[in-house]
Amino acid sequence: MVGRAVDTFFAGCRYPESPVDVIEERLRLILEVRPGERALLPSFGCRVHDLEAIDSEHQRQVAAVLIEEALRDWAPWAGVRRVSLLDVEEDRIRLRLTGRMPSLELSFHRRETAGSRSTVKGKS
């Protein structure tokens, strides 16, 4: 009875296939959240979403710095030392992270700048 209830409760849940999947999922969570979206942690997230467009080399460098800051603040366990932007599209960024771990390629969705539509006011 309990086994059937547990199977029903967790039906459709996707378990990570490997530890690398878990790490990628955690890093992606940090990068896809805009600061201010989490009421209890208003400074959580990555400020790369605040950039209007990433269409010049200067903007790519700024984006890399913002991503490094977010990962240094919220994922110090990852030991990221360098962020290289591989491909930047309007709504997606693909990057390579190097550091303590072996090189890791990751992509995440970049949201449009929407002012403070989905953010909460709080200390930063």
pLDDT in tens, 77-119: 989 999 999 999 888 999 999 988 888 899 998 876 554 445 5
pLDDT in tens, 38-92: 999 999 999 999 998 888 999 999 999 999 999 999 999 989 999 999 999 888 9
DSSP SS3 for 85: strand
Retrieve residue 111's tokens.
């949201």
CA distance 8 to 99: 41
Closest CA to 47 of 29, 27, 33, 26: 33
Domain ranges of the chain: 18-109
The full DSSP string for 54-69 is --SHHHHHHHHHHHHH
Q: Check residue 17 and give its pLDDT.
A: 74
What is the pTM assigned to this prediction?
A: 0.74
Retrieve residue 33's tokens.
């959240």
For 18-109, CATH gives 3.10.450.40
